[in-house]
Amino acid sequence: MSSWGTLNFQEAASPLMEQLIMFHDHALVILAIVSTIVTYAMIKLLVNNFTCRTMLESQEVEMIWTILPAVVLIFLALPSLRLLYLLDEVSDPLITFKAVGHQWYWSYEFSDFMNLEFDSYMIPTEELSMGDYRLLEVDHRVVLPYGCNIRALVTSADVLHAWAVPALGLKIDAVPGRLNQLGFYMNRPGVFYGQCSEICGTNHSFMPIVIESVNLNSFIDWILEFSN
């Protein structure tokens, strides 16, 4: 859960988010090296009093500053393309659910279980219990099991929305008339918060997303209880 003093990513709760954090650190290392070299070269040029009035061009220097950036881009592109492939992969899901964006709340459908459907509204500030998070708690959480592949189908009933849960590395557009899908895997229990990440109107900031990760038996109990 992010707070006012959090500068880094949230603690990863899925392999996808772990890979995203690793790529972020990898890119930062390359950026730090490039920034250091460029800063050193600028300082040396500023303090250097020597000039060469006879040198009109240098093929060697031009080759170096053409090849080196290309090599750096390769070191960034290869893990980036691998990560994009992993994010788009939806392999043999055990559970499928559908998230539909509305102005301004989310509705969910579990068609694998007797067409279970419910709406998820933000709890107003005056109705929060002690310890609840303002603007993030909802009346009905999405309960999902950890340790298995899950597929989410995301769409919208009116305008553009975006279904995003940072701790799981999830963000997908909810487009009217179009069904987008993503797959994810949660590796630990917990409660993970997200929000609509596409400006969708005046109450855009008041349609949070809450996923509760539980074991498979607790998930089955929740399905049976909610269905009754």
Q: Which residues pair with 119 in a beta bridge?
A: 107
Q: Element (H or E) spanning 222, and its range?
A: helix 216-227
pLDDT value of position 56: 67
C-alpha to C-alpha distance for 195 and 190, rounded to whole angstroms: 17
Domains identified in the chain and CATH numbers: 15-88 (1.10.287.90), 95-227 (2.60.40.420)
Q: Which residues contact 92 (CB under 8 A, 6 or more apart)?
A: 149
Q: What is the mean pLDDT of residues 146-159?
A: 91
Q: What is the mean pLDDT of residues 153-182?
A: 92
Strands 190-196 and 161-165, by their bridges, are antiparallel
Place of tokens 């709340």: 105
pTM for this predicted structure:
0.81
Sheet containing strand 170-174, edge to edge, reads 142-145, 208-214, 190-196, 161-165, 170-174
User: What's the pLDDT tens digit per position in 57-99?
Assistant: 777 778 888 899 999 999 999 999 888 888 877 778 888 999 9
Per residue in 191-222, pLDDT (tens digit) is: 999 999 999 889 998 999 999 999 989 988 88
Whether the pLDDT of residue 154 is over 90: the answer is: yes
Report which of 212, 142, 150 is spatially closest to residue 181, judged by C-alpha positions. 150
